[in-house]
Structure 1
Amino acid sequence: MHTAKKNAIDWNSPNALEQLAQHIRNPLETIMNVSKNGSMYDKQRIEQILFSSSKEISDIVEDILVKAKTNALSLTYHDRPDIFHIYESNENVRKMCLGELQPQKVAKKDQDWLVNLEREVYGSIRQEYLDLNELSYKMAISERQLHRKILNLILLTPNKYVRILRLHKARQLIDSYVQQSVSQIAYTVGYRDVHYFSKLFAEQYSISPKQLLDSSR
């Protein structure tokens, strides 16, 4: 039986609500399971499980209240593009860029544009082939302009950019226990070839998704 990792929610992530729901659902499912199958446990064990699960939920609620009071919590898309955080925290991603990315020098309007672009990518992330022409249409620019703008702003080709976001989403799914198998994770982020997905994931995170998934159990 899994329990939520304390402080594992990335509050700045586009899927913070999804992570939050999963972290609350885990202890709730434990409580419901004990209530349904109480005869399987002695009274002391039931009390321990109920207390532990209730404490998890209480800690999450407390964390939400603290962040809300300090204006540090946003459960919508954050003003700062995910790609900046990914770049700053991942040496392998930095090596994929055609030069040194300097997020602090990217204008606010361009950051907003990148946030909207990420929203479109995440919204279509289950698609095996993300059509760049369709993506450019949603962003109200030509495909050539899309290619040039992504390259100018984050020093990546659109295909590499989309791949990085797919694998970033996969990492979040593992960290937040949303999926329980490598194949499920791969399909969720648009990869039908699980071996290829695992290869790309290892290149980006220096660990295979299976190893990471096993270590989180």
Structure 2
Amino acid sequence: MESLHNGLEKLFLDVDAKHQFYHEGQYSLQLADSFVEMTTFVEECFLRKIFFESIAYQILSQQIIEYQDDIKKQDEKSLLRKSEVELIKKAIQIINNGIADLGTINELAKTVGLNVNKLQDGFQHLYGLSVNQYVKKTRLDIAKNLLMSTDYSISEIVYKIGLNSKSYFSKIFKEEYHTTPSKLRKSIKKITQISL
């Protein structure tokens, strides 16, 4: 029990339940996932008993981890709470609506009221991407749309998605879409001419 916070250690050693213990906090996304697992488990009898026993231990261990996270200083907390998902969604809006003038990840985290670790964990949990990967994907998606639906020059598009280097843009665009921006635009123009 040496890894437990002193208050928790006393709680687990209090086998006669002589002392009260109360902690108010909000549950994490991991704990929310465990609750969903419980409600969607369909097996019966023996398997159900084993499953619920195992999930009880999983929930207990997750709650201990969350308690230990709760008592850390604000900038050291790492677990993402269900209530913080709205802040992640706010970060998404900032990225989507302000891609041309996007600041650093630290600035984004500060703007939405999360520390960087929580911001990164939230993106990873919700989208399976780091913040940088999400920003890159958003930039490329916007660029592809602009190439296909506008007459903006490639330099203008590079500026509109918040990049400085046309060659870097071409490189990451080709990595993502297996063609260059100019080739994509030419192929779209050919298709448009054929359909006319």
User: TM-score by structure 1 length?
Assistant: 0.44
* Relative contact order, higher structure (CA 8 A, sep 6+): 1
User: TM-score by structure 2 length?
Assistant: 0.49
- Structure with higher helix content: 2
Instruction: From the CA coordinates, give the structure whose radius of gyration is larger.
Output: 2
